[in-house]
Amino acid sequence: MAITVKFFASFREATGKEQETIEGAANVASLLEQLTRRFGDKLSRLLYEPGTNKLRDTVNILVNGRGINLLSGLRTELKDGDVVAIFPPVSGGAALTPEELERYNRQIIISGFEKRGQRKLKRARVLVAGLGGLGSPASAYLVAAGVGHLTILDAEQVELSNLNRQILHWSSDVGRPKAASAIEKLSKMNPNVELEGRPEAVTRENADELVESVDVVIDGMDNYHARYLLNEACVRRQVPFIHGAVEGFVGQMTTIIPGEGPCLRCIFPKEPPSAQVRPVLGPTPGVMGCLQAMEAIKLIVGIGKPLVGQMLLFDGGEMVFDFIQVRRDPNCPTCGDV
């Protein structure tokens, strides 16, 4: 007598056998050891997490029809005549819930957007850098639209003079970190979105890590030093970067897709002069932040035409939207070799 091992599905494919007979295995762990010696790496890779003896979640092992998770795991004892079955779980599932279908119905019924677009949004990861006048509306609209994962980054605390335009922060938030204040509002707005708050500034050290796992970055920052750092990281990692900036009644915006159009350094080779305090009327970043969210959603869903190679100039005082062409600089130190 011996132990009979039955393989199914991917395990049958990896071993090339429907069943195998093993002798002298005292428990499941030693049985698997003998099997991996016999069938090699292809079977090991299916069974174990890389570089460990930990079984993957995608393995079911049954002894005489009972799962080893209900017995003693890998230490489950074996005796002659036992039958061990190895097969993957049968699992899966849709990506959208009926609640989400209703919540997002008015955008799902847009021709070309549809459920497919909503699924793409749900899978997407976006970074909003800066939670001020631009980042507040941009993150609010992204959360309302159902982006799957949003990282929001800001190192500062809420000040009373922020409240005329930074609409995610309210009177009671003065003194609180902006990331915490924003997460509180955004999570109530749409609990389906995974939110990650990072109370830190953009630095040379963290820029690449910030952009490497996201699909789009939104520029809600108030200084060109940090903008250049993120622009460079986005070019290196080939991540779209949606630039926005405001002052008084005027705002500017462009979408940077590395390799397709100019990067921020092509457009502004030298850092524009900075000021401690800039005048801003709240609706100006309100308009621009909404348009940045619009660009991000379009890119993720693959609908419409992104604002690449053009800069939108908005003047709320005269109520004029203007566009100027912006071109790649072949000698750009940031994207010249992309």
Partner 1 sequence: MRLRIKREDLSAIERHSKQSFPLECCGLLVGRRTGTEFEVLEAVPAENVKRSPTLFEMDPQFVHAVLSRAESRGLTIVGFYHSHPGVGAYVSGKDAEFLKLWPGVAWLIISATRELIEERRAYVYEGDEIRELKIEVY
- 123's enclosing H/E stretch is helix 114-123
Q: Minimum distance from CB of 310 to partner 1 (Å)?
A: 34
Query: Terminus-to-terminus CA distance in the chain, angstroms?
Result: 66
Q: Minimum distance from CB of 127 to partner 1 (Å)?
A: 21
Q: Minimum distance from CB of 3 to partner 1 (Å)?
A: 16
Nearest to 152 by CA among 214, 234, 238: 214
Q: Minimum distance from CB of 259 to partner 1 (Å)?
A: 27
Which is nearer to partner 1, 121 or 250 (by Cβ)? Answer: 121
Give the residues across from 314 on adjacent strands. 251, 321
- How far CA 234 is from CA of 120, 225, 237, 292, 294, in Å, comes to 21, 14, 5, 16, 19
DSSP 8-state class, residue 77? B
Chain residues in the site for partner 1 (CB under 8 A) = 8-10, 13, 58, 60, 62, 65-67, 85, 87-99, 101, 115-116, 119, 123
Which is nearer to partner 1, 24 or 302 (by Cβ)? Answer: 302
Q: Minimum distance from CB of 84 to partner 1 (Å)?
A: 11
Give the residues across from 261 on adjacent strands. 258
Give the residues across from 266 on adjacent strands. none
Q: Minimum distance from CB of 104 to partner 1 (Å)?
A: 11
Amino acid at 10: S
Q: Is 199 exposed, middle or buried (0-12, 13-18, 19+ CB in 10 A)?
A: middle
Which is nearer to partner 1, 115 or 198 (by Cβ)? Answer: 115
CA distance 291 to 141: 10
Structure tokens at 193: 């979105």
Which is nearer to partner 1, 67 or 175 (by Cβ)? Answer: 67
Which is nearer to partner 1, 70 or 324 (by Cβ)? Answer: 70
The whole-angstrom distance between residue 218's C-alpha and the CA centroid of its chain comes to 12
Which is nearer to partner 1, 118 or 231 (by Cβ)? Answer: 118
- Say which residues have a Cβ less than 8 Å from residue 8's Cβ, sequence separation at least 6: 85, 86, 87, 88
Amino acid at 5: V
Q: Minimum distance from CB of 11 to partner 1 (Å)?
A: 9
Which is nearer to partner 1, 70 or 275 (by Cβ)? Answer: 70
